[in-house]
Structure 1
Amino acid sequence: MKVRVNGKSIDLPDDILTIEQLLSHFHLENKLAIVEKNKEIIDRKTYKTRTINEGDQIEIVHFVGGG
């Protein structure tokens, strides 16, 4: 499935169907991340059930600590 993630067009593996799986794919499942799908901020509680569809535009913002 082809989607845009943070402005880049990517082909996702067929087994990635939800926001939760997408975050896991990018190794962000245990990080504080905010996800926007088609210009709508997604409630973290719904990541497990919110599906990803062909052509979706997804923005992922995650926080990195440092000094």
Structure 2
Amino acid sequence: MKEKIGTKSEPTLLKTPPFSSEYTMHVDEKDGIEIFVCTVGKTVLHYNMRCLNDLHEMLKKHGD
């Protein structure tokens, strides 16, 4: 994926589908690995960006 979602200092602010709650997303690095960070309230979730990049490439190959 060429585009990155937010940075630690300027995360992307999003809302849940019913627009009742807000959460942020940004790209960061942890232990030398690029990660995708989702913060909802006090809960912080980390995802390995390689997995998301692989998923994106797979979907493109399948026409999605």
Place the TM-score, normalised by the shorter chain, in its bin: under 0.3
Q: Which has the higher strand share?
A: 2
Q: Which has the larger radius of gyration?
A: 2
Q: TM-score, normalised by structure 1?
A: 0.26
Q: Which structure has more helix as a fraction of its residues?
A: 2
Identify the structure with bigger relative contact order (alpha carbons < 8 Å, sequence gap 6+).
1
